[in-house]
Amino acid sequence: MMSMIKIDREQWELYWPKVCHAPLLQSYEYGEAKRQAQRCRVCRFLLHSEQAGPVGLLQVLVYSLPLIGGVARINRGPVFFADDFRMPLSRGIATGIMTAVCNTLRQERWRLLRIVPELYCGADDTSVVLEDVGFKKRHTSPVVSAVIDLARSPSEIRAGFHGKWRNSLNKSEKAGLELEAPSLDDALPFLISKYEEMQQQKCFNGVPTKLIHAMANQQGQCWNFSILFARYNNIRQGAVLTVRHGDTCTYLVGWNSDEGRRLQVNYFLLWHSMIMQREWGCKYFDVGGLGANTTTGVERFKKRLEGQEYSLIGEYSYTDLPFVK
């Protein structure tokens, strides 16, 4: 039997390092940033098995909506304690976990739950478990991304890139670029202004800047919010924002000027970000999304990193309200 036990930050931080390929959206600091930026409540649980003891963690964002009441959102959870990336769950364990989630939903009086579970396509046929328990599949684009193994040496990591990616990196390194790693007080306002300008010009939503500000204000033992710039002739021509959130870091935001694109600063910056995060102890570098929500050029740039691609099973909902789908 599986149960869910509410825990505080101290308990969460005790177990978080046990999560392999820890997703950003389940990190404690991300939950706090969402709470501050969107005024939601955050509930955190330890998944406990009678047979195996603690097996995972779950962070839930709870919103209050008129007429409906509590609406719970689980994004990329629950997360599990494992030694290997993308280790499949047995159908029995998955059933126990999702049943425990439903029981907690009723106990907490959440009227609607939307969940993107951290279950991988092709790893095991656990998607049928959600339907058996009473979840309904929603027609949304699945989470697709890729991770780069940072446990290898820098030369091995670099050799794993597509030849065209390596060639572009080589050119950027010969262009006379300078790496800059300023304080967040200096870096964040500059990057936010460039990012908002890029959102308007290219007509995309991206990460809300209010949330970026809230994330930048977080602190934690497994958390690092980092911005690197590439300078040419003493002028900033590009930037990369990465976030460390456990054993994994995620590429969150990138920007480059017209001159920066000519100098291929995005290759230069992403490479230095990987090496920096590796030195800080990260095991995985998540490229931050592929698929339907990524433009063709950005997706090609990320795919040529030749990371291990993964796809989650999609989004599901659970409710006892007859007028909500």
Q: Based on the domain organization, do 120 and 219 belong to the same domain?
A: no
The domain that contains 27 carries what CATH number?
Answer: 3.40.630.30
Asked if residue 118 is part of any domain, the answer here is: yes
Q: How confident is the model at residue 69, as a pLDDT?
A: 76
Taking 60 as the threshold, does the pLDDT of residue 325 lie above it? no
Asked if residue 66 is part of any domain, the answer here is: yes
Lowest-confidence segment of 86-95, 114-123, 209-218 by average pLDDT: 86-95
Asked if omega into 88 is within 30° of 0 (cis), the reply is no
Per-residue confidence band for 16, with pLDDT thresholds at 50, 70 and 90 = very high
Q: Can you give the residue range of the structural domain that contains 136?
A: 2-143+311-319
Burial of 211: CB neighbours in 10 Å, binned 0-12, 13-18, 19+: middle
Q: Based on the domain organization, do 116 and 178 belong to the same domain?
A: no
Dihedral class, residue 52 (left if φ above 0, else alpha if ψ from -120 to 50, else beta): alpha
Q: Based on the domain organization, do 172 and 109 belong to the same domain?
A: no
Structure tokens of 229? 């710039």
Q: Based on the domain organization, do 33 and 181 belong to the same domain?
A: no
CB of 286 closer than 8 Å to CB of 250: yes
| pTM (predicted TM-score) | 0.93
Taking 60 as the threshold, does the pLDDT of residue 280 lie above it? yes
Q: How confident is the model at residue 87, as a pLDDT?
A: 59
Q: Based on the domain organization, do 207 and 182 belong to the same domain?
A: yes
Q: Based on the domain organization, do 25 and 105 belong to the same domain?
A: yes
Q: Based on the domain organization, do 136 and 235 belong to the same domain?
A: no
Q: Based on the domain organization, do 95 and 174 belong to the same domain?
A: no
Q: Based on the domain organization, do 291 and 157 belong to the same domain?
A: yes
Q: How confident is the model at residue 42, as a pLDDT?
A: 97
What's the total number of domains in the chain?
A: 2
Taking 60 as the threshold, does the pLDDT of residue 322 lie above it? no
Q: Based on the domain organization, do 151 and 131 belong to the same domain?
A: no
Structure tokens of 288? 């931050």
Q: Based on the domain organization, do 79 and 173 belong to the same domain?
A: no
Q: Based on the domain organization, do 40 and 71 belong to the same domain?
A: yes
Report the C-alpha gap between 138 and 209 in whole angstroms.
27
- Residue 252: CB partners within 8 Å, gap ≥ 6? 24, 207, 212, 241, 242, 243, 288
Asked if residue 324 is part of any domain, the answer here is: no
Q: How confident is the model at residue 88, as a pLDDT?
A: 59
